[in-house]
Structure formats: structure tokens, C-alpha cells
Amino acid sequence: MGYVVTEASCHDRIAAESVMTQIPHPYNLDDKGFISSEWQKKLYEEYQIAFWTPSRKNQKHRPSESWEKWLKQKRKVIETVFSVLVDQYRITEIRANSIAGFEVALDGILLVYSLVT
């Protein structure tokens, strides 16, 4: 698993590209914010990374309903994990004096979560 610590103003795509190039995986499940075909094409050509994104209602070319349902189920699992990390492990309330301290605290929370689940 990889992550990158950025400023709050950093766009998700920039952070995501950094993480995806650290630990490349051929397929990535993303939300609708990553639907840009130009950006997806760039990352596929440079790193052979493909994206699975849900389609928008007004998209011309939409995948099958069963595919959309499968993606929705997987996204729900991801959002549930984030919700647990925020609500039970208070991941948004980490207080640290340095980036290194923040990363140590975050690593500890993720370790505990992975051991408990």
C-alpha cells in the first residue's frame, strides 16, 4: 500500500499520480473525478495504468449495468473503510509537529486497522 502526504489544496489527480507511480498496479478503481480520458490515456501510455471509473449519467458510451453495479459495490467498500478510519480511528485529527510524525501516526493507525479487520 502506498500513500502520499500533500497540502489540502493539492488536487487528487496529482496525489494519485504520485501514489500510482510509487506502487504501479495495472488497474485502479477510481471515482468520477478521474474520468478524464486525456489523463487516463497519459498514465496508460507512460505507466501502463488503466482506470475503472463509474460513468456519468450523460456519458455517450456507458458500460453495462452489471459492470456499474460491481463498481458501485467496490466503491462502497472503499468509502466504508474511509468512514471507519475517520470515525473510529480519528484519522483526520492526527496532531503532529512534523511530516515524519504525521506519517508515523498514520502508519500506526493503518497497521492497527489492518490487524483488527
Are residues 82 and 110 in contact, defined by beta-carbon separation less than 8 angstroms?
no
Region of residue 112 (left: phi > 0; alpha: psi -120 to 50; beta: else):
alpha
Q: What is the pTM of this model?
A: 0.74
pLDDT mean for each 10 residues of the chain (117 residues): 83 84 82 82 87 83 88 92 95 93 94 94
**Amino acid found at 50:** A
- Extents of the domains making up the chain: 25-61, 63-117
pLDDT at 1: 66
Q: What is the radius of gyration, based on Cα positions, of the chain? A: 16
